[in-house]
Amino acid sequence: MSATARAQPNIALIKYWGNRNDAMRLPEADSTAMTLDSPSVTVTAEHSEILNVRSFGEDGKEKILTEKDTARFGKHIDLMKNYFLHLNAEEALPCSLSLTIRSGIPSAVGIASSSAVFAAVARAVAGLVEDIIPLTDTQVSILARLGSGSAARSIFSGFAALRAGGGSRIDASFGQQIADVDHWLLHDVIIAPSTAEKKVGSTEGHALAHTSPFFEARLAAIRMRRLKECVEAILRKDFELLQRVSEEDCMDMHKVMETSTPALHYLSEETHRIVSEIKDLRQKEHVPVLYTMDAGPTVHLFCPDEGYLKVLAYARKQEEKGCRVFDARAGEGAKLVRTKKPITV
């Protein structure tokens, strides 16, 4: 039997950075994000005696996975098995998996490819085990979180949160929808200044968050104010509030990254140039637009319809400077595309 699922990345507005338990990806604080409509990743999962992962890039060519990449899928499967044990459904995932990943996302350019990959893996696995244990979206988001914390949010369409929860149970933290895709049509015009692979991935980065002297203050700000403001901004479609709180949170996350030991510098000169030009555009032409960056130099420009054409025109000009541009908007959560069952006679 096999199951195929498709998922898109999500881009955080209140960023997830730092865990209370790194092995289980239990975050310190809640985060929020918008799920995109593109680019997509498709994953086919099949039961297998041993782990087997094949990955095809946006050009359709097979990618050579590093040992570290393959090991990450192995760890994810072990954690998913623990979760099924916790659900008294050990038989759901008896051995390992054979995974075929077809990605339309250039890896490591800051389009949160791992959020889409692990959301698609989780949805495919849910399809694979549905006759043994049908899972709710919340449970699928827990499966996704075990591969990549942010992936828990890509299970849901539109706007979603990753709830940190409390304690150390495997199901303590989960994804939750804030508003559906039709609620508010925001665009994400993405400018990737460099397609160079990032040096330190977010899995290693999370583990360093606690070494920054600004980390505790960051957690307090999210818990006491930012999260509430962000959810309110989404529910009320208050773009000004969303801009203020998400930019504040993004720059605060980068301050934590840059002051951790060792320091992590993800933003490039190009990032700072684009951010400053966007601030100018906003001020001079009153274009509603906000910027946000994850663990890389890529700039995400969120805007409502009113700002879209001007923001896109700005982005297209950056292509002449060697940047890659992606034109995305709020989209659907991870979906099961098909399941193939063995023919029984």
Residues that bind ligand PMV (CB under 6 A): 12, 15-17, 31, 112, 114-115, 148-150, 202-203, 206, 294-295
The single-letter DSSP state of residue 196 is: P
| Nearer to ligand PMV among residue 53 and residue 295 (C-beta) | 295
| Nearer to ligand PMV among residue 33 and residue 92 (C-beta) | 33
As measured in angstroms, the least distance from the Cβ of 117 to ligand PMV is 10
| Nearer to ligand PMV among residue 12 and residue 125 (C-beta) | 12
β partners of residue 330: 36
- Tell me the C-alpha distance between 30 and 304, whole Å: 25
β partners of residue 163: 174
Which residue is associated with the tokens 């600004």?
A: 214
- Cβ partners under 8 Å of residue 267, min gap 6: 254, 293, 297
- Tell me the C-alpha distance between 79 and 233, whole Å: 35
- Tell me the C-alpha distance between 241 and 244, whole Å: 5
- Tell me the C-alpha distance between 121 and 107, whole Å: 16
As measured in angstroms, the least distance from the Cβ of 23 to ligand PMV is 13
| Nearer to ligand PMV among residue 34 and residue 77 (C-beta) | 34
CB 138 within 8 A of CB 126: no
| Nearer to ligand PMV among residue 42 and residue 115 (C-beta) | 115
As measured in angstroms, the least distance from the Cβ of 160 to ligand PMV is 11
As measured in angstroms, the least distance from the Cβ of 273 to ligand PMV is 21
Category of 58 on φ-ψ map: left (φ > 0), alpha (ψ -120 to 50) or beta? alpha
As measured in angstroms, the least distance from the Cβ of 198 to ligand PMV is 10
Q: Give me the half-sphere count of Cα atoms (radius 13 Å) on the Cβ side of residue 180.
A: 1
As measured in angstroms, the least distance from the Cβ of 266 to ligand PMV is 8
| Nearer to ligand PMV among residue 281 and residue 330 (C-beta) | 330
As measured in angstroms, the least distance from the Cβ of 183 to ligand PMV is 20
**Cβ count within 10 A of residue 288:** 19
| Nearer to ligand PMV among residue 35 and residue 115 (C-beta) | 115
